Amino acid sequence: MITDQRSDNLGEVTNQVSGAVARGYENVREAFAAAQAHDEGEAQLAVYRHGELVVDLWTGEENRIGIVMSCTKGLVATCAQMLVERGLLDVDEPVTRYWPEFTAKAVTVRHLLTHTAGLPSFPKEAGLVAADALDWERCVKALGEATPAWEPGSAYAYHPLTYGYLVGEIVRRVAGRSVGEFFRTEIGEPLELDLWIGVPEEQEHRVIPQFSTAQDFKIPAALEFGSRGVRSLVRGFTFAAECMPLLNTREGRAAEIPAMNAVGDAHSLARMYAATIGEVDGVRLLTEESVRQARTPQTDTVSAPSPLNLMRMPFAQRFGLGYELARPGQPMLGSTSFGHSGAGGRLAFADPESGLAVGYTCSNMTWDPMAGADPRWLHWTAALSGQFIAV
């Protein structure tokens, strides 16, 4: 339990760190301060251990919330896993069982969760533009009529934007309410989270605008002339990038874009993940068996679509059922960790072995996934990696 609370300016730290840590976690405070010393923007770090808050730190203003980018995918994965646990959703059933209008009959729910469905982009012929990301019905109709770019299950490639609509529509069909509403009523409200997929208007005054001091990521032009699967993948990343400006608007934050537009704070991310691996104030979201299934590697033996499978991609992502797993470019805390990162440097995960659950948010989008782990993570993940052994 947290008992220590103060603000400090350590050494030449230019960003003041505020908040509190439990006894024995002072080194995590120092690590966070070092990580954020010269970062242009606001950041938050929260850690739970065995259901108790042990780290709650931030730079900038208190009580702020922000876009968590693809950490949203971890929220959606949790919604889906809860439906699996309740016996309402079978990951090995074809999508058409739950979504009859879906035309790609070979695609299973497992394929959607593991980014192996072959639908990393909206079909070109649908003619969607970035503003259409706000239109749920148009997006899911386009995906429901799409032809996979590769045989489902035969290859893996990240579905940066379509994942949210695909899995979100499954949740909507099974639960009878949108994925944002399901998250709010089944997870957000029971745990008293400041975390939403579609943030209420009354929370808008708390939102930290996001920005980037990093160089723009450019997709190699040669890939635009690759196989159908590669071209689809390029379109997916390009379209997602074109949607980014929406996230700094009220319309973009109010909508449900469940691959990238959840709004919340680090404390709520950590608290949600804590409730996946244990009880938090009487609430537990998943059983141990559900967690075991969700974090079982699904993509380790699946290659990228040709010709990308001939390239040695650094720090390739690893997935369980909708959750990212630890890898060199995103070590989290160890082999049992599962969660999801978000563009620019957000990170949220649980680690069953240590009982730790972590949320980190930032307004400055500097992380380049191709370069390895975000340097801002390394200080405090190193501190936590040794911490749970001694505490």
Q: Which residues participate in catalysis according to the annotation?
A: 70
What are the C-alpha distances in Å from 232 to residues 100, 305, 307? 24, 10, 13
Contacts of 301 (CB under 8 A, 6+ apart): none
What are the C-alpha distances in Å from 198 to residues 33, 67, 195, 379? 31, 10, 9, 32
* Strand stretches in the chain, DSSP E: 2-5, 17-22, 43-49, 52-59, 66-67, 195-196, 263-264, 324-325, 338-342, 346-351, 356-362
Q: Is 322 exposed, middle or buried (0-12, 13-18, 19+ CB in 10 A)?
A: buried
128 CB neighbour count, 10 Å cutoff:
17
Q: Give the span between the Cα atoms of 105 and 144, in whole angstroms.
A: 10
Let me know: does 290 contact 85? Beta carbons within 8 Å. yes
Over the Cα atoms of the chain, what is R_g? 20
Let me know: does 360 contact 349? Beta carbons within 8 Å. no
The count of residues in the chain is: 391
Tokens of 275: 């409730």
Cross-strand partners of 47: 55, 358
